Amino acid sequence: AQKITQTQPGMFVQEKEAVTLDCTYDTSDPSYGLFWYKQPSSGEMIFLIYQGSYDQQNATEGRYSLNFQKARKSANLVISASQLGDSAMYFCAMREAENSGGSNYKLTFGKGTLLTVNP
């Protein structure tokens, strides 16, 4: 079974509007972290936002916010006031066993959503 599911291969949004990118996850671990990364056409992976499973509030970073619904196992990224520079691939990822004290904190990625911002 997929651990991270991003059901939107592509999304379009008008400049200055808000957009929500969907992400659902699957884990039996009570302690995990959820990440969103942006990958522009140049290829680098840019960290956007993080949500811990025990965090009481939804994470926010500037124009990015994470709509965390733990019972539904969803962690949707909301981008407000879209800009042309937001056009990129967006990946949701999960890190399990956040507080286990172990030595491996690998990320599991979804397949990504290609966001296009139209002028």
Partner 1 sequence: EPEVTQTPSHQVTQMGQEVILRCVPISNHLYFYWYRQILGQKVEFLVSFYNNEISEKSEIFDDQFSVERPDGSNFTLKIRSTKLEDSAMYFCARDSRSNYGYTFGSGTRLTVV
Site for partner 1 in 28-47 (CB under 8 A): 33, 35, 37, 43-45, 47
Residue 67 contacts residue 76 (beta carbons within 8 Å):
yes
Q: What does each C-alpha distance from 113 to 30, 73, 87, 98 come to in angstroms?
A: 26, 18, 10, 25
Using CA atoms, how far apart are residues 58 and 64, in angstroms rounded to an integer?
Answer: 11
- Euclidean distance between CA atoms 45 and 42, whole angstroms: 9
Least distance between partner 1 and beta carbon 66 (Å):
12
52 binds partner 1, rule: CB under 8 A: yes
Closer by beta carbon to partner 1, 56 or else 119: 56
Residue among 11, 78, 97, 107 that touches partner 1 (CB under 8 A)? 107
Question: Least Å distance between CB 110 and partner 1?
Answer: 6
Residue with tokens 């909301």: 78
Binding site for partner 1 (CB under 8 A): 33, 35, 37, 43-45, 47, 50, 52, 91, 93, 95, 103-112
